Amino acid sequence: ELKEKLRNTEIQVNKQDGEIRSLTTTTEEIRDDLNNNYYDRTMVNEIVQTAETGVTNTFSEAGGNNVFRNTGLWFKNESEDKETNPYEFWVGQVVRGRNDQSSTKNSMMLQSGKLSQEQEVPNGNYAISFYYHKLISLATATVTINDRTYNLDSENVTQFYTGQKDSDTEEYIIFPVEVTAGHLKIEFETDTNNSVEVYDLMANKGTVKLAYSQNENETTTDTVNISKGITITSSDVDVKFKADADGIRTLDNNNNTITDFTDKGMTTNEAVIKNEAQIVGILRQRVGNQVWDSLVI
Amino acid at 248: I
For residue 155, pLDDT over 90 is answered with yes
Q: Residue 231's closest CA among 250, 258, 246, 259?
A: 250
| Range picked from 184-188, 226-230, 234-238, 276-280 for highest mean pLDDT | 184-188
* Alpha-helical runs (H) found in the chain: 2-13, 15-37
Please provide the average confidence, as pLDDT, over all residues in the chain. 83
286: confidence class by pLDDT, cuts 50, 70, 90: confident
The pLDDT of residue 62 is: 65
Residue-level pLDDT at 22: 42
Percent of the chain with pLDDT strictly greater than 70 = 79
The pLDDT of residue 16 is 53
Q: In what order do the strands lie in the sheet with 265-268?
A: 42-50, 54-62, 219-227, 229-234, 240-244, 247-251, 257-262, 265-268
Closest CA to 109 of 74, 68, 73: 73
Q: What is the pLDDT of residues 212-261, one digit of tens each?
A: 988 988 877 777 777 778 887 776 677 888 888 888 988 887 888 889 98
Confidence band, pLDDT 50/70/90 cuts, at residue 266: confident
What is the model's pTM? 0.67
Distance, in Å, from the CA atom of 242 to the CA atom of 230, rounded to the nearest integer, reads: 6
> SS3 helix, strand, coil % of the chain, rounded to 5?
10, 45, 40
Q: Give the pLDDT confidence score for residue 19 in this predicted structure.
A: 46
Cβ–Cβ under 8 Å, residues 175 and 140: no
- 3 vs 144: which has the higher pLDDT: 144
